[in-house]
Amino acid sequence: MLSPFIHLSISLFCIVFTNTIPIEALHVPTFYCPRTKKVSRLHFVVLLIGGFIFSCLHHLGPRLTTFPNVLEQELWIAMSYYMMAGLLLSASIAYFLSILQIKLQGSGTVVRILYGFLVWLVLYALFLGIYGRLKLIVLALVLLRQQPDRVFCAVDWTKFIPHILD
């Protein structure tokens, strides 16, 4: 009964603490994230562009498909905007914070208060993006109820993929 919980705990531990590869290893660990000494500004630019493209894909949904009712369509659009705002705000403010952090040495209390406020604003924007994403996942699962029964049948891929080794 505890097996999934134990497996999830071990996986999360590996995500957080695996940053080296042993010399005798035959493969890269499943969860490998090397430690970086410095986060460059390119990371923030990639986050901004990736977040924008990912959010734009979610805005295509209401235009390419039909929803059971208008409320679900409007909820999808609103949550797409939440997700876009959260990703773009958090990445752009974090970029500004990285610039501001360099100028903080020996600064007054006003700059430090501004810095603290911006940190909380980043956390709020991240929460906004995560909230929008979770609502989109729930809405996508709820929208499965309208699909016809033949959608849930397994596809026999052997009809479409040739058997090379037979």
Check whether residue 25 and residue 77 sit in a common domain: no
pLDDT value of residue 10: 76
More confident residue, 146 or 47: 146
Check whether residue 24 and residue 92 sit in a common domain: no
**Token pair in block for residue 65:** 């498909």
pLDDT in tens, 35-94: 667 767 777 777 778 878 888 888 888 888 888 888 888 988 898 888 888 888 887 787
Provide the number of structural domains found in the chain: 2
Check whether residue 91 and residue 142 sit in a common domain: yes
Check whether residue 93 and residue 26 sit in a common domain: no
Q: Shortest CA distance to 92 belongs to which of 135, 133, 41? A: 41
In a domain, 153, yes or no: no
Cα–Cα distance for residue pair 14/16, rounded to 1 Å: 5
pLDDT value of residue 46: 77
In a domain, 159, yes or no: no
Check whether residue 16 and residue 46 sit in a common domain: no
**What type of residue is 54?**
F
Check whether residue 59 and residue 121 sit in a common domain: yes
In a domain, 158, yes or no: no
Q: What whole-number percentage of the chain has pLDDT above 90?
A: 0
**What type of residue is 117?**
F
Least confident interval from 17-21, 48-52, 63-67, 141-145: 17-21
Check whether residue 60 and residue 137 sit in a common domain: yes
Residue 102 binned pLDDT confidence (cut-offs 50, 70, 90): low
More confident residue, 157 or 163: 157
**Token pair in block for residue 37:** 């000494």
pLDDT value of residue 60: 86
Residue 44, SS3 per DSSP: helix
Q: How far is CA 68 from CA 128, 140, 143, in A?
A: 26, 12, 8
pLDDT value of residue 35: 64
- Residue 146 scores a pLDDT above 70: yes
Check whether residue 27 and residue 98 sit in a common domain: no
Cα–Cα distance for residue pair 81/128, rounded to 1 Å: 10
Domain span including residue 128: 39-147
Phi, psi for 24 (deg, rounded to 5): -85, 5
Task: Specify the residue for token string 């009964």.
Answer: 1
In a domain, 60, yes or no: yes
Cα–Cα distance for residue pair 93/160, rounded to 1 Å: 49
